[in-house]
Amino acid sequence: MRKQYCIVICMLVMLPIFSTAGLAHQSTVLEIGEIDEGLLVGVASIIKNIGDAPAKDVAWSIRFEGGIVLIPLGSERNGACDSIDVGGEKNIFSGPVFGFGVLRPMEITVSAQASNADPVKRTEIGWIFLFIMQV
């Protein structure tokens, strides 16, 4: 009888260990790739999902600070996508940028966030003369 109680107690103590061992916590992790010049004008980057769960409701922005940026108004471009699958990527582009920032470099910041991931951002230094950008 005493042996049976010991076995039952041992099983009850070990039960939480075995019940959670098979559960893996899935997380979404976003990463922003290098910021490059766009095809002809503007800048482009890539948002990557390097986590093990799909990113949902992804919002992104490209912000220009410093220099004189005439287009886009407000010096920021925003966008969104419904999701980025595990291992997937989303190409983003600022669209045309027009301004002056030769004597004083400008900061170009790309940021992204998802409803199930921490926000991330990446900043690079660049120059702009009219519509020609150098990052």
Domains of the chain (ranges plus CATH)?
A: 26-134 (2.60.40.10)
Task: Report helix, strand or coil for 88.
Answer: coil
Q: Quote the pLDDT of residue 22.
A: 46
Report d(CA 94, CA 16) in Å as an integer. Answer: 51
Report field, pTM of the whole predicted structure over 0.85: no
Compute the average pLDDT of residues 11-34.
69
* Percent of the chain residues topping a pLDDT of 90: 44
Task: Report helix, strand or coil for 6.
Answer: helix
pLDDT band at 121 (very low <50, low <70, confident <90, very high): very high
- DSSP codes, 23-67: -------EEE---EE-SSSSEEEEEEE-SSS-EEEEEEEEEEESS
- Average pLDDT of the chain is 83
Q: Quote the pLDDT of residue 3.
A: 66
Decide if 81 contacts 91 (C-beta within 8 A).
no
pLDDT band at 135 (very low <50, low <70, confident <90, very high): confident
* DSSP-based helix, strand, coil % in the chain, nearest 5: 15, 50, 30
- Tell me the per-residue pLDDT of 49-97, one tens digit each, with 9 for 90 and over: 999 999 999 999 999 988 777 777 668 899 999 999 999 999 999 888 8
Q: Which helix (H) or strand (E) holds 69?
A: strand 68-71
